[in-house]
């Protein structure tokens, strides 16, 4: 397990691969030890929580809470390789059949058992959820025994494991879910490393250790180490930074790039930086003028000077994004980034040619909705200035992140600037954002030819076949430009020097069960 890298996993996922786990969370390269057991870590977060129901469209911060409360059958392990979660092992019996062996003796925090029937109930909720389309290939899930299930698919589903490692595939207590109804998002019950003690969405979320969790560290010690984790809402960056400096909080969930040098100079603070799989990007409504016109979308795409934005806004901590496949991905085409169509700098000649081709030579006005986070606000202002070079008059509409997400999830925008944490496999990216029925296709982009090639890429048997198909899909998507990609952010966190055990997986999820406090 320790030596299986992400490329090898994805290559062998088309064959009969058996994965097994002893309950150890292997590959978590953490200096924390059982000697540090106990205590509380207070995490400062820049936004309010909305809902902790994993089957709904929820925000990035909400997913960070969910990953610490609810378990999935599969976890993301070292090098982003699928690792045992509630399923201690699995076997791909044939091209259409997977068998999962569940851990025995595991209970939800309400005392009800995590058994085959509970997991089958979970699959039903997953398929009914907002990302159910990504599990459309599952025909049925049946119990082979109290702790064994079989997943039967209508066609090859080689990326099932990485889908099952996502929070929208959480396994929840059937009893609690049925009892709570629409209120489940306020007090979710699962079998994860923590359970909720108190939840005030606009103020703080308090989690306490689930003493019955199955997780163990590399030495066999029970996880999590901490007694309690407090997520405190501190939307003002200066206030949050001051709180970290004085020790009022122990961990800063998001470190603005401009503050990194100051934090790094403080011997009492540790700064963590790591590449992500995600983007900062513009969403276009492809059904609404002017962006129902592909030439308008392409004009914006070519007019953006990504390198200038990265240099000015992120202080060089980000990298230019030249398409949906990021440099951290196994599918990244380093020989032909951006499919040869877009690069780090602007191409104003091509941008103006697209404006003319679309009958837009006189320019147009558009409103860009964006979060009021400092970095994204600065990015919006840079875009406003850059797009003015080709006659696009940008009106900026900054909103608190909850308001931005309301507009995004309801597809109530013409153009919207947002960031996204990314996923460890391209199937979860392309299927969600660029298929006609994708769970994240808020701009209502539709192209039957792209649907076909994205489906083929997800089902291809080898990593080489999949990468080639995703390269072709990327070229087609950039030509259609349902998004304008700007930058690939780094995951910047800051913590007190006595906080250890933080592991950066690259998916912008804070796994608090490995944290310890000296």
How many Å apart are CA 359 and CA 12, to the nearest integer? Answer: 49
> 0.85 exceeded by the pTM?
no
How many Å apart are CA 226 and CA 506, to the nearest integer? Answer: 23
Least confident window among 34-38, 91-95, 237-241, 482-486: 34-38
pLDDT score of 34: 61
How many Å apart are CA 354 and CA 373, to the nearest integer? Answer: 31
Q: Please tell me whether residue 434 adopts helix, strand or coil conformation.
A: helix
Model confidence at 408, pLDDT cuts 50, 70, 90, reads very high
Residue 505 has pLDDT above 70, yes or no: yes
pLDDT score of 17: 38
How many Å apart are CA 193 and CA 174, to the nearest integer? Answer: 18
Counting beta carbons within 10 angstroms of the beta carbon of residue 384, is it exposed (0 to 12), middle (13 to 18) or buried (19 or more)? middle
Domain borders along the chain are: 1-30+71-187, 32-70+192-276+491-518, 279-488
Q: Please tell me whether residue 368 adopts helix, strand or coil conformation.
A: strand
More confident residue, 509 or 474: 474
Model confidence at 79, pLDDT cuts 50, 70, 90, reads low
Residue 500 has pLDDT above 90, yes or no: yes
**CA-to-CA separations, 396 to 118, 290, 313, 416, in angstroms, rounded:** 47, 16, 17, 10
Nearest to 301 by CA among 276, 329, 320: 320
Q: How many Cβ atoms sit within 10 Å of the Cβ of residue 430?
A: 27
CATH value of 279-488 in 3.10.105.10, 3.40.50.2000, 2.60.40.1080, 3.40.50.720: 3.10.105.10
Instruction: Tell me what the pLDDT averaged over the chain comes to.
Output: 90
pLDDT score of 256: 84
Per-residue pLDDT of 164-193, as tens digits, reads 999 999 999 999 999 999 999 999 999 999
Section 286-293 average pLDDT: 98
How many Å apart are CA 486 and CA 480, to the nearest integer? Answer: 16
User: What secondary structure, in 3-state letters, does 393-417 show?
Assistant: EEEEEEECHHHHHHHHHCCCCCEEE
How many Å apart are CA 301 and CA 341, to the nearest integer? Answer: 10
pLDDT score of 35: 66
Model confidence at 226, pLDDT cuts 50, 70, 90, reads very high
Topology of the domain comprising 32-70+192-276+491-518: D-Maltodextrin-Binding Protein; domain 2 (3.40.190)
Q: How many Cβ atoms sit within 10 Å of the Cβ of residue 265?
A: 9
Residue 217 has pLDDT above 80, yes or no: yes
Q: Top-level CATH class of 1-30+71-187?
A: alpha beta
């Amino acid at each position: 397990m320790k030596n299986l890298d992400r490329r090898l996993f994805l290559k062998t996922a088309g064959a009969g691969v058996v994965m097994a786990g002893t309950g150890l969370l292997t590959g978590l390269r953490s200096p924390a030890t059982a000697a540090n057991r106990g205590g509380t870590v207070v995490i400062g977060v820049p936004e309010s929580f909305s809902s902790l129901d994993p089957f709904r469209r929820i925000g990035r911060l909400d997913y960070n809470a969910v990953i610490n409360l609810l378990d999935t059958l599969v976890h993301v392990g070292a090098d982003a390789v699928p690792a045992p979660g509630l399923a201690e092992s699995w076997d791909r019996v044939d091209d259409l059949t997977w068998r999962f062996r569940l851990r025995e003796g595991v209970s939800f925090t309400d005392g009800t058992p995590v058994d085959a029937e509970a997991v089958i109930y979970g699959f039903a909720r997953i398929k009914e959820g907002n990302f159910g389309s990504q599990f459309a290939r599952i025909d049925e899930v049946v119990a082979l025994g109290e702790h064994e299930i079989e997943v039967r698919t209508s066609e090859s589903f080689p990326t099932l494991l990485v889908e099952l490692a996502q929070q929208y595939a959480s396994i929840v207590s059937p009893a609690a879910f049925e009892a709570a109804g629409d209120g489940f998002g306020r007090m979710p019950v699962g079998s994860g490393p923590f359970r909720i003690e108190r939840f005030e969405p606009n103020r703080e979320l308090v989690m306490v250790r689930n003493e019955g969790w199955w997780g163990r560290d590399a030495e066999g010690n029970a996880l999590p180490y901490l007694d309690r984790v407090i997520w405190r809402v501190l939307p003002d960056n200066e206030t949050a930074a001051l709180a970290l400096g004085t020790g009022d909080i122990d961990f800063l969930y998001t470190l603005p790039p401009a503050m990194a040098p100051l934090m790094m100079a403080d011997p009492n603070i540790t700064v963590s930086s790591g590449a992500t799989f995600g983007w900062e990007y513009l969403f276009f409504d492809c059904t609404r003028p002017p962006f129902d016109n592909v030439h308008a979308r392409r004009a914006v795409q070519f007019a953006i000077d990504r390198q200038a934005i990265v240099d000015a806004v992120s202080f060089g901590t980000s990298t230019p994004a030249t398409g949906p496949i990021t440099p951290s991905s196994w599918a990244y085409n380093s020989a032909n980034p951006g499919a040869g169509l877009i690069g780090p700098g602007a191409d104003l000649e091509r941008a103006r040619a697209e404006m003319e081709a679309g009958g837009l030579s006189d320019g147009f006005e558009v409103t860009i909705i964006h979060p009021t986070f400092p970095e994204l606000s600065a990015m919006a202002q840079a875009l406003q200035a850059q797009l003015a070079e080709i006659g696009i008059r940008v009106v900026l509409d900054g909103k608190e992140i909850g308001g931005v997400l309301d507009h995004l999830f309801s597809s109530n925008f013409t153009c919207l600037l947002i960031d996204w944490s990314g996923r460890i496999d391209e199937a979860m990216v392309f299927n969600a954002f660029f298929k006609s029925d994708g769970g994240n296709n808020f701009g209502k982009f539709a192209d039957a030819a792209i649907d076909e090639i994205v489906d083929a890429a997800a089902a291809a048997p080898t990593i080489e076949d999949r990468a080639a198909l995703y390269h072709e899909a990327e070229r087609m998507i950039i030509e259609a430009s349902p998004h304008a990609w700007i930058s690939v952010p780094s995951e910047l966190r800051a913590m007190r020097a006595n906080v250890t055990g933080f592991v950066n997986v690259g998916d912008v999820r804070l796994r608090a069960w490995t944290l310890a406090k000296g």
